[in-house]
Amino acid sequence: MKKIIISKLFLYRYRFVIGYAVLGLAFAILLITLPGFAQNGLSEAEINSATNSYYLGKNGILNGDLVDLPYRLLQKVSIILFGLTPYAIKLPSVIIGLLLGFLLILLLNRWFKSNVSLLASCLMVLSTPFLYLAGSGTPLIMLVFWPTLLLWLGSKIQGEKRPRPAYCFLFAIAMLLSIFAPYMIYFAVFCVIFVLLQPHLRFVLKGLPKLPLSLVGIIVLAGFVILGINIVNHPETIMELLFSKDFQMGQFFGNIAAGLAPVFSWHNSLESVFLSPLISLPTFALALIGLFSTTKGFFASRNSIASILIVFCLIITGFNPQAVVFFILPFSILVAHGLKYLLEKWYGLFPQNPYARVSAALPLTILFGFMIIPGLLQYIYGYRYNPNIATEFSDKLAVVCENLTDEYLLVNENYDFYKILEAKSDIKVVNEIEKVDKLAVLGQLDDKPEEYGLAQIITSPMRDNSDIIYLYTYTEKVEGE
């Protein structure tokens, strides 16, 4: 009987290719279907984002309206193509979430072995905060996307003896675009300081070809010149990019406390759109193990960067509590470090025993099942049924799209937002009463004329105060009645 050599088996040789393919397919399917079963409606931030994106015009761009421009352009195109629907509003985040997930996988695969990067990728791209970002129709996801892209491009430059000039140009262009996103100016400065202080990166920088390096510097400098001109013409832009519109220095430490509350607490604040805890306890424990394991070789670039990114996350959280989602990036790196440490310790116990190595597969599978599946269920059901979270989202737009066809719709709040419905439907949106046969009112009509009679109340199945639309019919009053 022929002896079976495990290393010759197809499944063994291509185990990581198969693993990444399954993860990528599951991740893509999950994100594409995400807006259909996650948050029950739109948050106020999503409504504002969709409104600002749709009414973005050439004059606004030429006049300096550049904050989060790539995301807003993508959202504008999505709404123009598919109309004003919850899915169209969230689609840009789904697309960027797919790119971000694959970038995160590529980044971890650059710095760690395939077995470690595959397991760490599974944990982070299927985690509750990552899925929230990918299912929320706001530019908040760009806060994680740009640094991840820059770190991956930087790893492609650093990790090669002769880095391709194309990666240098892509890094410069990504840096140029990123500085027009909130807080990314800090990250650009952080990158420059980190490269100058890190000995290995300084050595890599000196070895880069002079012409591509000079062109990269010119591109980045041009970006800051454009930004400076924009700030001179529109001083309010600097507040959006560096802080937030309503930020006050006295709020800094209070914002940090509010931002970290969903990370360390098990109950939700009425003022937060994040489920608690943001990171499950086992994943948090892995990240702590990873943090302690990096202390030995702290000055290696990939070891120190996670710790420095955590400090950066705390700083920007002080400006905006929702910026705490940035911790997805350093946590991904620390989780990979923790897995690397645990696997090395396990294999170190049995260096010559292949059966002991294989036996670790079963407990690891069970452990990861208990870490991933509860997180998915928490995300799917928490955002729909948690009373503190559900109140942050409104399903009014979905109810309107499902129940109205050619009626006049009277709205008192977010008029500009609902006005977009007219572009792809026969609904006529008004902000004052008109004499029409059928008038749909978003909410109750407080000062109802006598000519209008209530015909129907359309409700939502997901809310306590479920009356969403009041349908009135108009009957012309005859004199003498």
> Based on the domain organization, do 287 and 177 belong to the same domain?
yes
Q: What is the pLDDT of residue 441?
A: 84
- Quick check: is 480 in a domain? no
pLDDT above 60 for 6: no
C-alpha triplet 360, 364, 370: angle, nearest 5°:
155
Segment 134-177, tens digit of pLDDT: 888 899 999 999 999 998 888 887 766 666 777 777 888 888 88
pLDDT bin (cut points 50, 70, 90) of residue 269 is low
The tokens describing 251, both together, are: 């709020």
Mean pLDDT for the stretch of residues 11-16: 61
Report CA dihedral (34, 37, 40, 46) to the nearest 10 degrees: 10
SS3 of 453, please? Answer: strand
Cβ neighbours of residue 245 closer than 8 Å, sequence gap 6 or more:
236, 239
Same domain, 198 and 311: yes
pLDDT at residue number 159: 60
Q: What is the DSSP string of 27-39?
A: HHHHHHHHHHHSS
Reduced to 3 states, what is the DSSP secondary structure of residue 472? strand
Q: Which residue has the higher pLDDT, 299 or 362?
A: 362
Mind listing the pLDDT tens digit for each residue in 83-118?
898 889 998 998 998 889 889 888 888 888 877 888
pLDDT confidence tier of residue 1, bands split at 50, 70 and 90: very low
Query: From CA 197, how far away is CA 203, in angstroms rounded?
Result: 11
User: Looking at the structure, do residues 255 and 402 belong to the same domain, yes or no?
Assistant: no
Interatomic CA distance for residues 306 and 331, integer angstroms: 8
Query: Given pLDDT bands bounded at 50, 70 and 90, which one contains residue 479?
Result: very low
In this structure, the answer to whether residues 17 and 124 fall within a common structural domain is yes
Are the C-beta atoms of 226 and 69 separated by less than 8 Å?
Answer: no
pLDDT of 478: 42
Q: Which of 304, 305, 325 is nearest to 314 (CA)?
A: 325
Number of domains, the chain: 2
User: Is residue 47 one of the residues assigned to a domain?
Assistant: yes
In a domain, 467, yes or no: yes
Best CA proximity match to 388, nearest among 474, 244, 273, 284? 273
Tell me, yes or no, whether 284 lies in a domain.
yes
Domain-ending residue, one of 390, 409, 442:
390
Tell whether 344 and 414 lie within a shared domain: no
Final residue of a structural domain among 374, 390, 406: 390
State CA 158 to chain mean position distance.
27
Give the pLDDT mean for 460-478: 70
Would residue 366 count as lying in a domain?
yes
Q: Is residue 215 domain-shared with residue 348, that is, in the same domain?
A: yes
SS3 state at 275: coil
Alpha-carbon torsion 191, 196, 198, 200, what sign?
Answer: positive
What pLDDT does 60 receive? 67
Residue 429, strand partner residues = 409
Q: Are residues 61 and 160 in the same domain?
A: yes
Q: Are residues 115 and 252 in the same domain?
A: yes
Q: What is the pTM of this model?
A: 0.86
Mean pLDDT of 378-395: 79
CB atoms within 10 A of CB 59: 8
Q: 232 and 169 in one domain?
A: yes
Measured at the CA of 298, the angle between CA 295 and CA 299, to 5 degrees, comes to 165
Question: Looking at the structure, do residues 79 and 108 belong to the same domain, yes or no?
Answer: yes
**Measured torsion, CA atoms of residues 98, 158, 292, 189, in degrees rounded to the nearest 10:** -80
Give the model confidence (pLDDT) of 316-344 as tens digits. Answer: 988 888 888 898 899 888 888 888 888 88
Non-local (6+) Cβ contacts of 264 within 8 A are 277
Residue 479 within any structural domain of the chain = no
Q: Give me the chain's average pLDDT, please.
A: 79
Same domain? For 436 and 311 the reply is no
pLDDT tier at 9 (50, 70, 90 boundaries)? Answer: low
**Does 258 lie in the same domain as 152?**
yes
Given this model, what pLDDT does residue 354 score?
Answer: 65
Which of 377, 428, 368 is CA-nearest to residue 404?
428
In three-state secondary structure terms, 179 is coil
> DSSP secondary structure string, 38-70?
SSSSB-HHHHHHHHHHHT--HHHHHTT--TTHH
Average pLDDT over residues 454-466: 73
Tokens of 62: 């030429």
Name the band, by pLDDT with cuts 50, 70 and 90, for residue 357.
low
Q: Tokens representing 196?
A: 């100058």
Task: Determine the pLDDT at residue 28.
Answer: 76
- Which of 163, 261, 143, 147 lies closest to 203, judged by CA? 163
CA 453 to chain centre: 45
Last residue of a domain, one of 341, 356, 390: 390
**Residue at 305 is within a domain:** yes
Q: What is the pLDDT of residue 147?
A: 93
Token pair recorded at residue 474:
């108009």
Task: Tell me if 372 sits within 8 A of 408, measured CB to CB.
Answer: no
Establish if 201 belongs to a structural domain: yes
Q: Are residues 119 and 369 in contact, defined by beta-carbon separation less than 8 angstroms?
A: no
Question: Could you list the residue range(s) of the whole structural domain that residue 54 is in?
Answer: 6-390
Q: 248 or 67: whose pLDDT is higher?
A: 67
Rounded Cα–Cα distance for residues 272 and 320 (Å): 12
pLDDT value at 314 more than 80: yes
Amino acid identity at 338: G
Q: Is 192 helix (H, G, I), strand (E, B) or coil?
A: helix
